[in-house]
Amino acid sequence: MSMSAPTGRAEDVRAESARDGDDPPGRDVVVGVDGTEVGLGAVRWAAQEAARRNAPLRILHAAPYLGRRGPTGSPPPELPRARGITAVAYTVARHTAPGVKSSTEVVPGDPVTALLRAAAAGQLVVLGSSTTGAADEMVLATMAARVAARSPAPVVIVPRRRGGEPAGRPAVAILGVGERADDEAVAMFAATTAQRSGVPLSVLQTRPSRQTVPASWVDDPAVWAQRFPGLEVQHSELPAARANQVLGATCPSPLLVISAGHGTLLHRSLDGPHRWLLRHCTSPMALVPAVHRPEHDRREEVVALV
């Protein structure tokens, strides 16, 4: 178990795109924990996914409540509480996936900043969400939404568990959000995840039929069969679908995969449909970073992360 603090140096939060389907070797699956049962649900999901990816699991607790060290250099008095949170999460991870190499870290400071830094070095970030559907849910989900909107790595939001696993249901790739390259990144992430999990894949195209877009391999079932042999893939269309229609057509599912959309580094945010999905989706949802993001100077990266 370790405790570290942000270094204050500029870190490039731009990670390699997952559009080629290859996860960076040795990179962690990162899970954020906060001591709640929802957070432990995220740990269980992350541990299972780390096992499927043959990747280490990094359990991260960002603790803004940690005070400064004492005058004699003694640890902050709140440190045992923070370490207790990561210790419980570690135990859950070990029980869930004993073969996964797990580590814990306590980081004093803002959770969003800590998770974005971790995302830059990891291959996947996993967070929990209560998803009550209440009007004030976005107050609770703000941290998850901010991380998902700005993360250079895909972010999976795991909702509070209600009932058992959706046996026999496919993972879902939701296309039509963002550019064609974003469709391809979503399709690649969803297909490789479905293959690892041994479940079929449903591909839902939501792009309005009136839009003229470049041709892509995601529209050709034959290419899907070549790229992902043995994967059962179903294709359907729901043009210009609203968020509630998407949920009605796809849930329950072991995983929904959608593009996180676009925005600037400093002001990137999720749009209305994304926020609605975060409030109401009862299935794990992966938000894949947009492939083409505007370039920014180094100063903006520093401001965004400190």
Same domain (yes/no): 44, 109 = yes
C-alpha 86/C-alpha 270 separation (Å) is: 29
The length of the chain is 306
Same domain (yes/no): 177, 124 = no
164 belongs to a structural domain? no
Amino acid sitting at position 74: S
Same domain (yes/no): 194, 275 = yes
pLDDT tens string 50-97: 999 999 999 999 999 887 666 666 678 889 999 999 999 999 999 999
Same domain (yes/no): 121, 221 = no
Given this model, what pLDDT does residue 306 score?
32
Q: Which residues contact 288 (CB under 8 A, 6 or more apart)?
A: 18, 154, 182, 185, 186, 189, 257, 258, 259, 260
Same domain (yes/no): 218, 284 = yes
Which of 129, 150, 179 is at the close of a domain? 129
Q: Across residues 155-184, what is the average pLDDT?
A: 89
Same domain (yes/no): 214, 280 = yes
156 belongs to a structural domain? no
154 belongs to a structural domain? no
pLDDT tens string 12-43: 333 333 334 555 557 999 999 999 999 999 99
Considering the chain, what is the average pLDDT of its residues?
83
Same domain (yes/no): 124, 204 = no
Of 176-180, 186-190, 285-289, the poorest mean pLDDT is in: 176-180
Q: Which residues contact 105 (CB under 8 A, 6 or more apart)?
A: 1, 2, 3, 4, 58, 59, 60, 61, 86
143 belongs to a structural domain? no
Helix, strand, or coil (residue 244)? helix
Q: CATH number of the domain that 223 lies in?
A: 3.40.50.620
Q: Across residues 272-297, what is the average pLDDT?
A: 81
259 belongs to a structural domain? yes
Which of 99, 129, 159 is at the close of a domain? 129
Domain count, the chain: 2
Given this model, what pLDDT does residue 108 score?
92
Q: Across residues 175-192, what is the average pLDDT?
A: 95
- The angle, 0 to 180 degrees and rounded to 10, between the axes of the packed helices 137-150 and 111-121 is 30
195 belongs to a structural domain? yes
Residue 48, pLDDT > 50, answer yes
227 belongs to a structural domain? yes
273 belongs to a structural domain? yes
CA 166 distance to own-chain centroid: 20
| CA dihedral (83, 80, 304, 147) positive or negative | positive
Q: Which domain holds residue 206?
A: 171-288
Given this model, what pLDDT does residue 299 score?
35
- The angle, 0 to 180 degrees and rounded to 10, between the axes of the packed helices 37-53 and 180-197 is 90
